[in-house]
Amino acid sequence: MQVVVQLPDEIAKEIGTDAEIQRRVLEAVALEGYRGGRLTSGQVAELLGLSRWQAEEFLDAHGVKQAYTIEMLEEDRRTLAQLSDR
């Protein structure tokens, strides 16, 4: 999908070049999507062309705490139990 955003020239000049503006818009969409629970960290990574770890660093650098649910905790506990059985 392609989205077109029009900015007044004066504002666009303050934000940066076309490439910088495009990147900042993508980053803003990624951050808000993650904050709102609409995107996972994996989807943030895909959207921004980052590795999973880079996406975690990106989110952390922008003050977005990773959601850690009860389900994630239970999955981690099962994984640890399987590893300790080996």
The count of residues in the chain is: 86
Instruction: Quote the pLDDT of residue 2.
Output: 87
pTM value?
Answer: 0.72
What lies within 8 Å, CB to CB, of 16 at 6+ separation is 24
Q: What would the two tokens of residue 57 be?
A: 């660093």
**pLDDT tens for each residue of 32-60:** 999 988 998 899 999 999 998 999 999 99
Catalogue the E-assigned strands of 2-46: none
- Please provide the average confidence, as pLDDT, over all residues in the chain: 90
